[in-house]
Amino acid sequence: MAVTGPIALFDSGEGGLTVLRHLVERFPRERFLYAADSSHFPYGEKSLSDVSRWFMAFLDFFTEQGARAVVIACNTATAAALTQAQTVSPVPVIGVIRAAVVQAAALTRNRRIGVLSTEATFRAALYPQELHAIDPRLQVVSKPCPILVAMVENGDIDGTHVEDRVHQCVDPVLGQGVDTLVLGCTHFPHMRAVFNRVVGDRAHIVDPGEEIARHLTSEIAMVSGPGILTPISAWTTGDAARFSTIATKLCPYIPMVTRRLSWHNDCLTYPG
Ligand code: DGL
């Protein structure tokens, strides 16, 4: 396949930047486009059918922008829309869940895996389903942690209050003997330093973004080799200045130019 057009990444907000971060580290010469449906954040509280409809509008937008592949850098949107998107999209669409479950199943020694996620991902139950498809003997302990999603979206990723909240999410799951913990919402790896402290050597931590970056070349042709990162074109349906302020705080080393998209009757419009 000819390597033309950017790789598009999608999330409800700032979470997908944890996937982008691994991609730009590995492929600094690539062109990336990032879009956030911030006006509908948090997706975790929405119905899967709403999330799917919104993502499909973004898929049209990415096609118009000439994207040559789309990474759904959002577990909730992956659970809601991946299958439909792959059926209709003219370019490859990659979700975050598959890479994470493959890595989790490879890492666990006691066959007990914890998954932290949004409410909607928890309800969709795609993690247990995909894990059981790999090995029906796996035991999956799932826990929604919406409070962490909200904190990250506000740029709140470290400190004692964050550590307390992470403990509240992690401890009951680790208490059930899991030896592998999936950060099943792309917002959570922004708190990776806190997760590392809280989890310690009690479990392996799986970050889907890291796994996607490791395996992307098996799915699509990527521009590789060292290089200087060109500014990422970012779009949000929310407030562009706010999105950009938080994104700079979360990923100061990723240059970004943010513009606004608007919703009109379930269609996205943007300045030409
Ligand atoms: N970052 C998203 C995910 O991976 C969604 C968070 C939200 O909007 O609730 O599920």
Q: What are the tens digits of pLDDT across the range 208-236?
A: 999 999 989 888 888 888 888 889 999 99
Please state which CATH class domain 97-208 belongs to.
alpha beta
Q: What's the whole-model pTM score?
A: 0.96
d(CA 87, CA 153): 31
Give the Å distance between the CA of 16 and the centre of ligand 1.
Answer: 8
Which CA distances in Å does 245 have to 152, 155, 186?
Answer: 13, 9, 19
145: helix, coil or strand? coil
Q: Which ligand 1 atom sits nearest the alpha carbon of residue 73? A: 4
215-253 burial by CB neighbour count: b if 16+ within 10 A, else e?
A: ebeeeeebeeeeeebeebbbbbbbebeebbebbeebbee
> How would CATH label the architecture of 7-95+212-269?
3-Layer(aba) Sandwich (3.40)
Minimal CA–CA distance to 31: which of 1, 65, 61, 55? 65
pLDDT number for residue 272: 67
pLDDT number for residue 1: 44
d(CA 227, CA 256): 17
Q: Which residues of the chain have pLDDT under 50?
A: 1
Instruction: DSSP letter for 228, please.
Output: P
Check: CB of residue 223 under 8 Å from CB of residue 217.
Answer: no
Q: Which ligand 1 atom sits nearest the alpha carbon of residue 45? A: 9
Strand partners for 127: none
> Do the two domains 7-95+212-269 and 97-208 of this chain adopt the same fold?
yes
pLDDT number for residue 9: 98
d(CA 190, CA 156): 9
- Cα first-last separation, the chain: 28
Residues with CB under 6 A from ligand 1: 11-13, 15, 41-44, 74-76, 118, 121, 149, 185-187
182-207 burial by CB neighbour count: b if 16+ within 10 A, else e?
A: bbbbbbbbbbeebbeebbeeebbbbb
The H or E element containing residue 68 is none
pLDDT number for residue 226: 84
pLDDT number for residue 187: 98
Q: What is the domain partition of the chain in residue ranges? A: 7-95+212-269, 97-208
Check: CB of residue 9 under 8 Å from CB of residue 32.
Answer: yes
pLDDT number for residue 229: 83
Give the Å distance between the CA of 225 and the centre of ligand 1.
Answer: 31
Greatest distance between any 2 Cα atoms in the chain:
54
Check: CB of residue 178 under 8 Å from CB of residue 207.
Answer: no
Residues that are catalytic: 74, 185
Give the Å distance between the CA of 196 and the centre of ligand 1.
Answer: 21
The H or E element containing residue 231 is none
pLDDT number for residue 126: 97
| Best residue for ligand 1 mutational test, from 149, 154, 206 (most atoms within 8 Å of Cβ) | 149
d(CA 172, CA 165): 12
136: helix, coil or strand? coil
d(CA 72, CA 214): 16
Q: How many residues does the chain have?
A: 272
pLDDT number for residue 32: 96
